[in-house]
Structure 1
């Protein structure tokens, strides 16, 4: 299993075990209720998913880089859904 697959798997386990729906997970981590996840909120999600502290900053940047389609350096609900759908396929 690659590192990316391992990280996506841990995120899927977090969402599945602690939330009824992906939207509930998104709302939980969207601490400022702006319907977007900033880098700090993504780092918190990664921490909860038990991603190594050293990797969290790198992974959060890569997630934003890979899924931020409108290039605002935030992950909105639509972008989050896209990421979650990839997780389910992984």
Structure 2
């Protein structure tokens, strides 16, 4: 199983290579424009970050559990930014 650090590192690589800013990445993956990333939107982000298809669903659930501070089972911009800040530490 991939470690949290490996997953966050792959997400960081994706964001820095393909997007100008983390805000651009968030907006790109927020397909319905509601200001929140759903599990399916996070799965697409993980696919772009080259996370194996077998574990994407599990990882997306764990990311939501780990960063969803308001309990709505979605990742909003502030929660996404928290994950990005953890990557950059």
- Spell out, residue by residue over 1:15-65, the C-alpha distance to the aligned partner (whole angstroms, 9 max, x if none): 000000000000000000000000000000000000001110010000000
**Residue 22 of structure 1 corresponds to which residue in structure 2?**
22
CA distance in 1, matches of 2:88, 2:59: 18
Q: Number of residue pairs matched?
A: 88
State the SS of the aligned residue for 1:15. helix
**In 1, distance between residues paired with 2:68 and 2:6?**
21
Q: Give the superposed CA RMSD.
A: 0.8
Shift of 1:81: 0.2
* SS at structure 2 position matched to 1:53: coil
Report what 2:43 is aligned to: 43
Normalised TM-score (structure 2): 0.96
Unaligned runs of 5+ in 1: none
CA distance in 1: counterparts of 2:51 and 2:6, whole angstroms: 9
Q: C-alpha distance in 1, partners of 2:24/2:74?
A: 18
Gapped regions of structure 2 (runs ≥ 5): none
Q: How does 1:75-86 map to 2 (within 5 A)?
A: 75-86=75-86
